[in-house]
Structure 1
Amino acid sequence: MHAVLRRVAVLLLAIAVPVLGLPALLPPSAQAAHVRPEAVASWGVDGPVLATAVAGNVVIVGGSFSAAVGPSGERVPRANLAAFSLRTGALLTGWRADTNGAVRALTTDGRSLWVGGSFTRIGGVARARAAKVWAHWGVVDKAFRANANAAVLALEHSGKALFLGGEFTTVAGTTLPRLARVRAATGRPAPKFRPSVNRAVQGIAVSGNRVYLAGQFTALGGQARRGVGAVARATGVLRGPAYAASVHPSFGVEVSSDGSRLLVAAGEYANALVAWDAASGAQLFRHTAMGDVQALDVQGDHVYFGFHEGFRGDTTLKVLAARISTGALDPDFRPPVDGFWGIHAITATPDALVLGGEFSRVGGVTARGWARFRP
């Protein structure tokens, strides 16, 4: 009898106190995602979606496509950038800002939308790889000029600042290899921000006085940082620890709402969603997919992460949700996604979850290039 009681006590202790680095075993109700696991039917596009953003009731998708596609197969020309109603999923026919090259990054403050990629024209206006448009109308803001000399792969808006990451070496005529801070209104570079990054930046997240980075790099500020690291918001000088067992390439980075946890979409050599203690660099948990983890976003205590190929032998899985505080996967949010290349972009808001990628169906719903989920 005493042996049985001891075994029960040990089991209860194991459930109550998860081991560092392992997912906690919580009841499903404590793990539930903030949206339903069923996608809602929408218009789509005829090519890959590589970036997504939500501004109020407007969903903007960017990528490499030539048309928006309606539920009955009707096609409306849209070159690499399109906008849809978050409420109904319908194409916003009055919103148009075509580009002549792929769109790789989007960020918004709810009113303005900043666009990054490999284009040199947007909405009929010459802009080299970075532009600003009005989020609800698609009109190019002609005051913003942050022309980059090579692809912009990441954007993050924060207050009056806009951070750009990518393959470029100059922005607005200023030498800023692969990472820049500019004025969000004009694109003018900040004079004191002079980082040192040796290879491409592919993800940016701002928290407090730090700018967290993910990418192809192996060094920041002359010190070893493999695909994950942080710099000072004001100056670009290296800050924070080396993150344990980090790898390059990494494709995206987010920070928990309290700033304590760093979450990264890691590719090739890890194929994982990885969480670290932001201050110490200690790894907290890791979920390994069958292919690159290509995108992530945070909403409340959930991190949504997307990947290609599949997860733990299930090739229908391309997106999952995990609790940031425990690492526990949501057992109910497992929408099946067709195709191989899966999810390239995720935007999570209190009102919705938007996925972008290379797929045509999510669950039983036709979803060409992007999908939306509601609470």
Structure 2
Amino acid sequence: MRQRSRPVHLVLAAALLGTASTALAAGPAQAAGEPTLTADPLSTWQTDGIVWSLAYAKGIVYVGGTFSHIRPPGAAPGTQQIARTNFAAFDAKTGQPLPCAPAFTGGAGTVRALKAAPDGSLLYIGGSFGKAGPVGRSNTAALNTADCTIAADYKPTVSATVRALDVTADTVYIGGDFGTVQGQTRERIAALRPNGALLPFKATIRGSSIPNDPTSGINAITVAPKLNKVIIGGRFTSVNGSLLGVHALAGLDATTGRVVDAFSGWIPQRSAVKTLVNDGTNFYLGAEGTGGGVFDGRIAGRLADGSQIWKDTCLGATQAVLPYKGVLYSGSHAHDCSDTPGGFTDIKNRQHFLAQSIADKTILPWFPDTNDGIGEQIGPRALTMADGILWAGGEFTTVNDAPQQGLTRFAAAPDTGAPQVPLLHGASGSRGKITLSWKASWDRDNGVLTYKIYRDGVYLTSLDKDSRYWNRPDMSYTDSVAPGSEHRYSLEVTDGTNVSGRNGPVYVTARN
């Protein structure tokens, strides 16, 4: 697991080598040292379309989306394909596909939400479809994970797309674009028993005063059963007929649907909540703004009292968040995090994965990346953790600049990527002095790198420096040698595990 640099290390490095950019500033000291996963993707199967949702249960990762086939790692589009219609299952450890493959068809033919029951026995599925495998289902279904059969008793009729799901031991919460469930009015959100029976829970979600307003909807749900609270996110401005300062985010009583947290002022106009998750203590969200400079980042809040812990200011719509061991992983297309600790100013190349300290929102040195991909060209859309491996799905067609469509995975080890070695220069400006100079390298999952200098093939010294791909400070070292002597120098870079190839040699003669 990769360790981010501690503030004291930054101070020492700056003292030795010059002041580092403020873009590398860390957060409060108590947040130092959160480990991240490696940025080196594991070999992963691919899809031929968009992955909208991921879920894990009993050693299996389930994938939902809009696709027709899967194919092996490294296979080019259209080759070595196996039919999978909007749904696939993979062994969580090996990553190999499993035969569990009911087709979800009819409607718009897409799976948008997956969530396993707490005991893993059932997988609840939402989307836009009219059939789940061989049986008719109306935009939601449940799968028996033991034998991959569609559950017979869970078959509610939902009038439009289900985009969000969360599940407790005795309740299934669904959210989306619908106006009725089981023929009864349920605007955008409903609660059901595991057998599909509709519960009295009711909250009317609207984007305006117009019933069934198509601009309003639920994108995300997270439930805290011990607090009897369900938090919803989406694109709306009214809950239960009252504004209450509500915009795009609300906390509801999990039994009645009454508003218990309005989160007034959290989400600005022209911004919508796209993802919600909780860890039993805190909840986390990601937002998508419409228009330049509109809130696109992440917020951490407390479940118990609905208070805000922190809010970042990154631009680049956030589609997925996932907390794991003190780190909040996210999928977005971040391009400006200049006001967030550890962040970057506006850059041409979007950064599609981020890792942040849950303690203080500092952006940690973990920078695997994808392209924007197909569809809406958003990049990553979904994240899930399975046995210590982070699975990511979305619209992308490359990962770390290599072809890879729809799915990828990251583990804690092994770290296999060595930093690139920079170009070394040498000159003698005074008697018996040789100054070597180079630009700092960078690594996808380590902040501080070590630069080892060799003179005449023998190790001379090493220097540490903190860097990122958008901030590669100039570095130098002055060697004292005999006046008039000629020496050859080379440089190698290590992240503590992997060592780059040694560059050079550079030949320099010291002045007399």
Q: Using the alignment, how far apart are the partners of 2:332 and 2:138 within structure 1? A: 29
Give the one of 347, 368, 372 matched to 2:409.
372
TM-score by length of 1: 0.86
Distance 1:364 1:352, change over 3 A: same
Structure 1 residue aligned with 2:328, among 303, 313, 317?
303
Deviation of the 1:59 alpha carbon? 1.2
1:284 aligns to what SS in structure 2? strand
Corresponding letter in the other structure for 1:302: V
Indicate the larger mover: 43-52 or 233-242.
Answer: 233-242
Deviating above 6 A after TM superposition, structure 1's stretches of 4 or more consecutive aligned residues are none
Provide the rounded CA distance (Å) in 2 between the counterparts of 1:23 and 1:143.
52
5 Å-filtered alignment, 1:253-332, equals 253-258=276-281, 261-268=282-289, 269-278=294-303, 282-308=307-333, 310=335, 312=344, 313=347, 315=349, 317-331=351-365
Q: How many residue pairs get matched?
A: 349
Q: Could you say which residue in structure 2 is the equivalent of 1:5? A: none
Work out the CA distance in 2 between the residues paired with 1:38 and 1:364: 12
1:87 maps onto 2:93 in alignment: yes
Partner letter of residue 38 of structure 1?
D
Tell me the C-alpha RMSD between the 2 structures. Answer: 2.4
Identity %: 26
- Which residue of structure 2 aligns with residue 108 of structure 1? 116
Aligned to 1:220: 239
Q: Offset of 1:257 from its aligned partner? A: 3.0
- Larger RCO (CA under 8 A, 6+ residues apart): 1
Give secondary structure in 2 for the equivalent of 1:249. strand
Contact 2:92-2:386 at 8 Å conserved across structures: no
In the alignment, what sits opposite 2:169? 159
> Given the alignment, which residue of 82, 104, 107 partners 1:99?
104
How big is each residue's C-alpha offset from its partner over 1:47-66, in whole Å with a ceiling of 9 and x where there is no partner? 01000111132111111111
SS at match of 2:33: helix
1:118-150 CA-partner distances (Å, limit 9, x unpaired): 111110211010000123543211111122100
Give the structure 1 partner of residue 432 of structure 2: none
Larger Rg belongs to: 2
Q: Deviations over 1:234-289 (max 9, x none)?
A: 1111102424331331101123432xx33211101311112234456554323344
Sort the Cα spacing of 1:76 and 1:196 in 2 relative to 1 into closer, same or farther, 3 A.
Answer: same
Change (3 A) 1:159 1:23: farther
Q: What are the within-5 Å matches in structure 2 for residues 338-353 of structure 1? A: 338-339=371-372, 340-349=377-386, 351-353=388-390
Q: Secondary structure, in 3 states, of the residue corresponding to 2:178? A: coil
2:131 aligns with 121
User: Do structure 1's residue 43 and structure 2's residue 77 form an aligned pair?
Assistant: no
Gaps of 5+ in 2: 1-7, 12-24, 207-215, 337-343, 413-512
- What TM-score, normalized by structure 2, do the two folds share? 0.64
Aligned to 1:15: none
Q: Is it true that 1:232 corresponds to 2:266 in the alignment?
A: no
Q: Counterparts in 2 of 1:187-226, with a 5 A limit?
A: 187-191=196-200, 193-198=201-206, 199-207=216-224, 208-221=227-240, 222=242, 223-226=244-247
Q: Distance in 2 between the 1:76 and 1:170 partners?
A: 36
Kept in 2, the 8 Å contact 1:299–1:349? The answer is no
**2:286–2:299 Cα contact (<8 Å) kept:** yes
2:484 alignment counterpart: none
* Alignment partner, residue 64 of structure 2: 62
Contact persistence 1:107–1:115 (CA under 8 A) = yes
Unaligned segments of structure 1, at least 5 residues: 1-7, 12-21
Alignment of 1:13-28 (within 5 A): 24-26=27-29
User: Which string of whole-angstrom CA distances, capped at 9 and with x for unpartnered residues, describes residues 287-311 of structure 1?
Assistant: 3444211111222422211113645
Matched, 1:172 2:197: no
